[in-house]
Structure 1
Amino acid sequence: MGNSGEAVRVAGLRVERGGRTIIDGLDVAVPAGQVVGLLGPSGSGKTTLLRAVVGVQARVTGEVTVLGEPAGAPGLRRRVGYVTQAASVYTDLTVVQNLRYFAQLAGLPHAGAEAAVRRAVTAVDLGGHAKQRVGTLSGGERSRVSLAAALVGDPELLVLDEPTVGLDPVLRRDLWAMFRRLAAEGRTLLVSSHVMDEATQCDRLLLLRDGALVADTTPAELLTTTGAPDAERAFLALIDQQAATSGSTSGPAAGEGSR
């Protein structure tokens, strides 16, 4: 897989929902071959942006280009893997049965599908659970099954919405190690989170608040420019700087849940 240029380019993105503007005029780029963290507080527009990138968000204006094609284009079906915050696998099926189903959805031929299922199971370290029903697995293992379902088509871009939410620190650490391995293979990962300490796991950070881009930076640059000791306080420092400039009050704390 190549890792040069941009995997995603968003220009003038505007999204409305329920008569309210969620994102207004957003411009952002996701470099290829990197783990890019999309972080921000509740209501910042992270999930909406991810849905726009995948091509499933309604009432979108502006341009969203993914791997050189318009977001949601048929040619992207196997090139983009999407893991939603809600479970996307079937608890009454085994791991392998789930992955065979998603391989069919990806349009893989039977022979290729079996090989793809084996690769996906290996990639997420679930070889010992391949024939278990998903309903019998732990929360962390189910998260890995969802990731495997997104990987079965061998995508170039993985879009992950809060993949570590509700997991304990050990499971979060293990998932992030897996994300780094996937990126090392040449994939691009766009990962949303409201857990600010996960910022250090990323190559690049996109910080959102109220549907606007607060910063497009690296973890090291974020700490250097704000002088803060950690990512959460750095984010709050940026919000305070914005408030001082605009005269507005600061919004919700960076550690709150996000959609």
Structure 2
Amino acid sequence: MSSTPAVDVSSLHVRRGLHKALDDVSLQVPAGSITGLLGPSGCGKTTLMRSVVGTQIIESGTVTVLGEPAGARGLRRRVGYVTQAPSVYTDLTVTENVAYYAALYGRDRAAVADTIAAVGLAGLAGHAGNAADALSGGQLGRVSLACSLVGDPELLVLDEPTVGLDPVLRAELWEHFRALAARGVTLLVSSHVMDEADHCDALVLLRDGRLVAQLTPRELRDRTGEERLEDAFLHLIRGDAAGTETEGTR
């Protein structure tokens, strides 16, 4: 992993209407690593990811990605983003979808085949000639992943990429994520599945738009005294909530 962070977030504030979606969040994502973004629904995970890829209007603070301001033109070919909702054209086949994104990134047909084969670890290769509207939700999610991977990004931002997948497919995708990180790609991955946290080099824990902690899975266990990551996460989150309520009564 490089000593220079791939993502550097400093004093980030994001407001949506009257709601403060992110409140003074500062963190770094090491290059060539897998960082897991964890927290309850509505805690700000997707807002933070949108801020990193440059699609979120921010109130104040800075987000630097691969040495440039988030959303800069120079990052368009260097950052891949997989949203919760599949981003595919349902009237095109799997191959046509991936080929379309490959053309946008200036990649050749060989890259299309290689990417489909890579995501084929989760069973996509056998559906390459099918129209996307005939695929299951999990298969559509893998098409979205292939469309992002075909550009060979330096940073891959994944918003709950394993939702709806069975345990075998989830395991295969995480093996692929680990292989990408070993090759030097940086991954920022959000998840609601706590056992996936053990696949990450570092964890970012959010609650109510605030950063609760940034630490490794081992450090989370040591800090809470809990061996199961789900128990450790709940211990830390509930302790943070209790501390916030105490401060509010002073």
Query: Structure 2-normalised TM-score?
Result: 0.91
Aligned to 2:20: 21
2:71 paired with 1:72:
yes
Say which SS state the counterpart of residue 234 (structure 1) adopts: helix
2:118 paired with 1:123:
yes
Instruction: Give identity over the alignment, percent.
Output: 61
Task: Answer whether contact 1:140 1:167 (CA < 8 A) is retained.
Answer: yes
Unaligned runs of 5+ in 2: none
Aligned to 2:29: 30
Query: Of the two structures, which has the highest relative contact order with CA contacts closer than 8 Å and spacing of 6 or more?
Result: 1
The superposition leaves residues 70-89 of structure 1 with CA deviations (integer Å, 9 ceiling, x where unpaired) of: 00001111100000000101
After TM superposition, the structure 1 stretch with the greater mean CA deviation from structure 2, 237-246 or 222-231, is 237-246
Aligned to 1:235: 233
**Count of residues in correspondence between the two structures:** 244
The superposition leaves residues 209-245 of structure 1 with CA deviations (integer Å, 9 ceiling, x where unpaired) of: 0111111111111111101121121112112322443
Correspondent of 2:146 among 145, 148, 161 = 148
2:212 paired with 1:217:
no
**Residue identity opposite 1:98 in structure 2:** N
**Residue identity opposite 1:134 in structure 2:** A
Task: Answer whether contact 1:17 1:59 (CA < 8 A) is retained.
Answer: no
Aligned to 1:52: 51
Task: Answer whether contact 2:138 2:164 (CA < 8 A) is retained.
Answer: no
- Structure 1 distance, partners of 2:240, 2:202, is 21
Give RMSD over aligned pairs: 1.8
Task: Answer whether contact 2:25 2:211 (CA < 8 A) is retained.
Answer: yes
Aligned to 1:61: 60
Aligned to 1:254: none
After TM superposition, the structure 1 stretch with the greater mean CA deviation from structure 2, 74-83 or 17-26, is 17-26
Query: Structure 1-normalised TM-score?
Result: 0.88
Aligned to 1:43: 42
**Residue identity opposite 1:127 in structure 2:** A
- Structure 2 distance, partners of 1:155, 1:212, is 28
Aligned to 2:7: 8
Say which SS state the counterpart of residue 212 (structure 2) adopts: strand
- Structure 1 distance, partners of 2:179, 2:137, is 21
Task: Answer whether contact 2:12 2:58 (CA < 8 A) is retained.
Answer: no
Task: Answer whether contact 2:98 2:112 (CA < 8 A) is retained.
Answer: yes
Correspondent of 1:186 among 167, 170, 184 = 184
After TM superposition, the structure 1 stretch with the greater mean CA deviation from structure 2, 225-234 or 48-57, is 225-234
The superposition leaves residues 148-187 of structure 1 with CA deviations (integer Å, 9 ceiling, x where unpaired) of: 1001111000000011112222222222122112112211
**Residue identity opposite 2:199 in structure 1:** Q
Aligned to 2:162: 164
Say which SS state the counterpart of residue 124 (structure 1) adopts: helix
Task: Answer whether contact 1:11 1:26 (CA < 8 A) is retained.
Answer: yes
2:172 paired with 1:177:
no
Aligned to 1:96: 95
Say which SS state the counterpart of residue 23 (structure 2) adopts: strand
**Residue identity opposite 2:86 in structure 1:** A
- Structure 1 distance, partners of 2:4, 2:141, is 30
Task: Answer whether contact 1:37 1:193 (CA < 8 A) is retained.
Answer: yes
**Residue identity opposite 2:6 in structure 1:** A
- Structure 2 distance, partners of 1:246, 1:120, is 46
After TM superposition, the structure 1 stretch with the greater mean CA deviation from structure 2, 155-164 or 194-203, is 194-203
Say which SS state the counterpart of residue 62 (structure 2) adopts: strand
Task: Answer whether contact 2:63 2:70 (CA < 8 A) is retained.
Answer: yes
Task: Answer whether contact 2:138 2:163 (CA < 8 A) is retained.
Answer: no
Unaligned runs of 5+ in 1: 250-259
